[in-house]
Chain A
Amino acid sequence: MSCKCSSTCVDTKAQELERIIDKYKGVKGALIPVLHEAQELYGYLPIHVQKAIAEGLGVSLAEVYGVVTFYTQFSLYPKGKYQIQLCLGTACYVKGAGAIYEEFKKELGLKGDGVTEDGMFSLEACRCIGACGLAPVIMINGEVYGRLVPSDVPKLIQKYRDMG
């Protein structure tokens, strides 16, 4: 997602990032909380943000990059407007989450986890979201949909396409 507004917007984000870094300066084990907040701000963690964090906290860029790539929550790339998280925990798997995942890949034209070309949807298989009673479940931008069958998938995607 490229930012189409004027450069002032970028500056505001940069200032906000600086404020986040300042808040955690001198706090032990600050890197992960800073990355969480930075990702919330930018939606992902582009290299210039990682550089700013490395400089701000006085650690090497390699260390920042190492941490970012270790944890699945941190993303180096922007995600879709609608983020689909599909639970592949054991309870969901036993109840047929694999077929739901296949259906999403087919409907979205993706080979696996990833973002659609138009940037509308990103698909991500995730671990248990703790709603095993509703298995198989997915979350779209935090909204949970449960007890799914493959034929629900096209309807769901259409619902979000219609929302624009």
Chain B
Amino acid sequence: MIYRSHVLVCGGTGCTASKSMDIIDELNKLIRENKIDNEVKVIHTGCFGLCEKGPIVVIYPEGATYSRVTVEDAREIVEEHLVKGRIVKRLLLGDKDAEDVSKALEDVGFFKHQVRIALRNCGVINPENIEEYIARDGYRALGKVLTEMTPEQVIDTIKKSGLRGRGGAGFPTGLKWEFAAKAKGDQKYVCCNADEGDPGAFMDRSILEGDPHTVLEAMAIAGYAIGANQGFIYVRAEYPIAVSRLETAIKQAREYGLLGKNIFGTDFSFDIELRLGAGAFVCGEETALMTSIEGKRGEPRPRPPFPANKGLWQKPTILNNVETYANIPVIILKGPEWFTGIGTEKSKGTKVFAMGGKINNTGLVEIPMGTTVREMIYDIGGGIPGGKKFKAVQTGGPSGGCIPASLMDTPIDYDNLLAIGSMMGSGGFIVMDEDTCMVDIAKFFLEFTVDESCGKCPPCRIGTKRMYEILDRITKGQGQDGDIEKLELLARNICSSALCGLGQTAPNPILSTLRYFRDEYEAHIYEKRCPAGVCKDLLRYVIDEDKCKGCSLCARKCPVNAISGEVKKTYRIDAEKCIKCGACLEACKFGAVKKMA
């Protein structure tokens, strides 16, 4: 059936949380009421990326993008836009008075600077309908590979493209495939790492939810290249929508003969099984992930032997991350030369980042490698909310580090980030402003690694705990002379002696904050002061006598009766009793309560 209008509603996690499914129901109900249900089709898609402005609704053919849509707005959209053909300007994202609404977004920085390869289908197709993927050239790359290319040619193409692993370390994908292809073995496996554990990164989730078939297609291509007939996707159980869309996609691909026996009538057979994680960050490490698929405690194994030779069940195995796979079909179709035309000398293509924290446009962005941190924050991210000052951005999650304001013009690629003590990581991009304490952030990440350390090797199990204890002391005003040196020594030893990537990179958040914000550590240790005003034990709340009107609201809100005074006179906080909960600060209508660092 041909429809005159298509209404695309974002079904990503953020928008679903803001009731986008209810909006779909309401739209459908009203469309039926207006008897245009054979003219208009409502589709729920994957993530559009601009989560901050969600839920997002896009209507074609006009290309009108509506933001922050509510269930109540559905009636106006249906009656005005769909029935009468009048754009609902009130909800329009971008230039509300643009003559051509499809161009309203042209000057919106968030979209202007992006190049969408891995996210090409997210927000465009219905992820639960294989035909929509096929209509966007889906499975054509698999067809081309199986009927026109040898496995060697496939590997050669990927090698030439310069594609590097998008999960963090940036190992050349083609090389990895070549190792596994050359390894001897009757049975080989292709695995997909969808155990996106970096807190603050959700690009893999968005690809799985918005374009699951691209991962299946790429895994089949990898299977053909290395000589494997079985694939496993290891996906977090915390991502229920992704799991269900993958299940649907695998079922549909089997029905269409795109997975299973004799794909495209060739003698190549390939099938994929899902395996659910169970909440262990270390399982994002490749050997731990394979141990977990085997049904055991997800503890890493020493390398070598590398998985390319002895991986899952001791068989040659390749493991790539979701975003890496999402690039494969496009590279096959458009050729490696096209791909190498994007990016920097040693980092080709694009990278998806999940921008979050103290930034106006939270969401998912895909940028060409080489984009600078400044462009990311001001042109795409729309700057820092509340006119605050930018302090640093944290990339690479618990394994990464921070990039301070002084290095904002660094072009983002694998090697540049490593050189300044951070790393690409899976793509978390957490922006911090002047109100963020860097010692507290380092402590936050160490608490994470202490919690997630699997316990197999002592440097990680004991070392991260000791580092955490020192940081905890420092933030509580009990830091001692020599603590910084002790941290540095521990960090170096853990980096060089831990068994797997988790332990080896766990000290990075400390090393990097020490490198750029050593003065903050020193202020905590020597002056017992938290310059950002975050560390509770180092704070003092005081009432400004000139501003206090004596309304008594703060005294009434104080849970420990630490505030005393008389109505219409000045109130005072007893520092001995104060538990620094901040209730008075929130309560005061005159800005008289102040937090002193």
Contacts and interface: CB of A to CB of B under 8 A. Distances in A.
Interface string A58-71: 00000100110011
B297 A35 contact: no
Contact of B356 (A88, A90, A145): A90
Contact of A28 (B13, B18, B313, B586): B313
A90 B200 contact: yes
B278 interface: yes
A30 B294 CA distance: 8
A14 interface: no
Contacts of B197: 127-128
Contacts of B362: 91, 132-133, 135
Given A28-B313, A70-B454, A95-B358, A35 B278 contact: yes
Given A71-B278, A128-B198, A132-B51, A144 B17 contact: yes
B238 interface: yes
Contact of A127 (B14, B16, B51, B281): B281
Interface in B287-314: 292-298, 313
Nearest to B241: A130
A91 B430 contact: yes
B201 interface: yes
B404 interface: no
Interface in B257-279: 275-279
Interface in A54-99: 63, 66-67, 70-74, 88-91, 93-95, 99
B51 A133 contact: yes
B394 interface: yes
Contacts of B206: 130
Given A29-B295, A90-B394, A131 B14 contact: yes
A69 B294 CA distance: 17
Contacts of A135: 356-357, 362
B85 interface: no
Contact of A134 (B14, B200, B279, B431): B14
A134 B198 contact: no
Interface residues of B, number: 56
A126 to B, nearest CB: 7
B76 to A, nearest CB: 24
A137 interface: yes
B237 A131 contact: no
Contacts of A32: 275-276, 278, 292, 295
A59 to B, nearest CB: 9
A37 B240 CA distance: 14
A36 interface: yes
A91 B356 CA distance: 5
B363 interface: yes
A115 B199 CA distance: 24
Contact of A90 (B51, B199, B275, B277): B199
A63 B295 CA distance: 10
| Residue with the highest number of chain A CB atoms closer than 10 Å, among B18, B238, B354, B454 | B238
Most chain B CB inside 10 Å of its own CB: which residue of A30, A63, A67, A91: A91
A31 B430 contact: no
A133 B356 contact: yes
Given A36-B278, A67-B297, A91-B430, A146 B17 contact: yes
Nearest to A149: B586
Nearest to B15: A133
Nearest to B361: A133
A74 to B, nearest CB: 6
A90 B13 contact: no
A84 to B, nearest CB: 15
Given A28-B313, A131-B14, A132-B51, A70 B297 contact: yes
A129 interface: yes
Contact of B201 (A70, A93, A128, A150): A128
Contacts of A119: none
Of B18, B278, B281, B436, chain A has the most CB atoms within 10 Å of the CB of B278
Nearest to A36: B276
A109 interface: no
B226 to A, nearest CB: 20
Q: Which residue of A72, A133, A134 has the most chain B CB atoms within 10 A of its CB atom?
A: A133
Nearest to B237: A73
B156 interface: no
Contacts of B377: none
A112 interface: no
Contacts of B432: 94
Contacts of A126: 238
Contacts of B354: 91, 132
Interface in B188-224: 196-202, 205-206
Nearest to B292: A32
A131 B278 contact: no
A70 B456 CA distance: 12
A33 interface: yes
Nearest to B280: A71
Contacts of A132: 14, 51, 200, 202, 354, 356, 362
A86 to B, nearest CB: 12
Given A132-B356, A132-B362, 18 more contacts: A29-B294, A31-B296, A36-B237, A70-B297, A73-B238, A73-B278, A74-B278, A74-B279, A90-B200, A94-B356, A94-B432, A94-B436, A94-B441, A130-B14, A131-B14, A132-B200, A133-B356, A134-B18
18 contacts: A32-B275, A33-B276, A63-B296, A67-B295, A73-B279, A88-B199, A90-B357, A94-B430, A99-B582, A128-B197, A128-B198, A128-B200, A130-B13, A132-B14, A134-B17, A135-B362, A144-B17, A145-B17
